[in-house]
């Protein structure tokens, strides 16, 4: 859980009971996997919760004194729980196609789970808090290592108004990697991030495949 206020706003943004009224269609036979990664407390659980058609499965545990000195809560002082495995949500795109969302835990001690979560992933969202950009470097490094396409979504926490160019430079993003702004508490904003990722994947799929130069015989 990324913030108590975020969760309340995300839940109230949709009609009561909407998340519970979305059974998976029997015709669904095409599952697509998206992973949401990023540092501790950047809003991953909130994003999955705000956009999922179902009540998300999460593995949150109450933060205790055992985490003092390990989990840096200075930027999220109101955070009282944290994901210890992963979050899971679902969006039915049509009668046959379903999008499965996995939110990865952000703390370093859970990074060993990431490689397994990336397996079979269509693409990823790196959610960042621009006040703590260094927390996102590991996520970007692992995605590049796996060759997993991704976009970067800057969650709205307020703070200094850094420009997109400054954020891109700080994260050393390749020019082709999209950077978008979002409010993870908002269903519509989170849907916009997913659409941006899909559009990025479509552009990559349509790009010509480079051919190796011919060698003289």
| Lateral strand order in the sheet of 97-103 | 87-92, 97-103, 30-38, 123-128, 150-155, 179-182
Rounded Cα–Cα distance for residues 129 and 53 (Å): 25
Q: What domains sit in the chain, N to C, each tagged with a CATH number?
A: 4-206 (3.40.50.300)
Between β-strands 97-103 and 87-92, what pairing exists: parallel, antiparallel or unpaired?
Answer: antiparallel
Predicted confidence at residue 211, as pLDDT, reads 67
Predicted confidence at residue 12, as pLDDT, reads 42
Going from the first residue of the chain to its last (217 residues), give the mean pLDDT of each consecutive group of 10, the final group possibly shorter: 42 45 64 89 90 75 46 48 66 86 73 74 92 87 90 86 90 95 95 95 87 62
Predicted confidence at residue 34, as pLDDT, reads 93
Cβ atoms of residues 83 and 105 within 8 Å: yes
Greatest extent of the chain over all pairs of C-alpha atoms, in Å: 71
Q: Residue 212 has what DSSP assignment?
A: P
Task: Give whole-number Cα distances, 61 to 1, 57, 80, 84, 212, in Å.
Answer: 9, 13, 9, 7, 51
pTM of the prediction? 0.73
Q: How many CA atoms lie within 13 A of 185 on its CB side?
A: 12
């Amino acid at each position: 859980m990324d913030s108590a206020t975020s969760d309340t706003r995300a839940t109230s943004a949709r009609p009561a009971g909407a998340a519970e009224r979305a059974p998976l269609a029997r015709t669904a036979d095409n599952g697509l996997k998206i992973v949401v990664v990023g540092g501790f407390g950047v809003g991953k659980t909130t994003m999955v919760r705000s956009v999922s058609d179902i009540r998300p499965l999460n593995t949150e545990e109450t933060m205790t004194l055992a985490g003092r000195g390990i989990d840096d809560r200075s930027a999220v002082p109101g955070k009282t729980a944290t994901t210890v495995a992963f979050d899971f949500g679902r969006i039915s795109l049509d009668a046959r196609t379903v999008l499965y969302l996995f939110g990865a835990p952000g703390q370093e001690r859970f990074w060993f789970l990431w490689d397994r979560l990336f397996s079979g992933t269509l693409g990823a969202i790196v959610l960042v808090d621009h006040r703590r950009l260094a927390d996102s470097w590991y996520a970007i490094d692992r995605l590049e290592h796996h060759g997993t396409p991704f976009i970067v979504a800057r969650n709205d926490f307020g703070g200094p108004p850094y420009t997109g160019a400054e954020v891109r430079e700080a994260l050393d993003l390749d020019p082709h990697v999209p950077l978008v702004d979002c409010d993870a508490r908002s269903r519509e904003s989170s849907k916009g991030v997913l659409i941006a990722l899909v559009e990025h994947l479509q552009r990559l799929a349509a790009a010509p495949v480079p051919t190796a130069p011919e060698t003289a015989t």
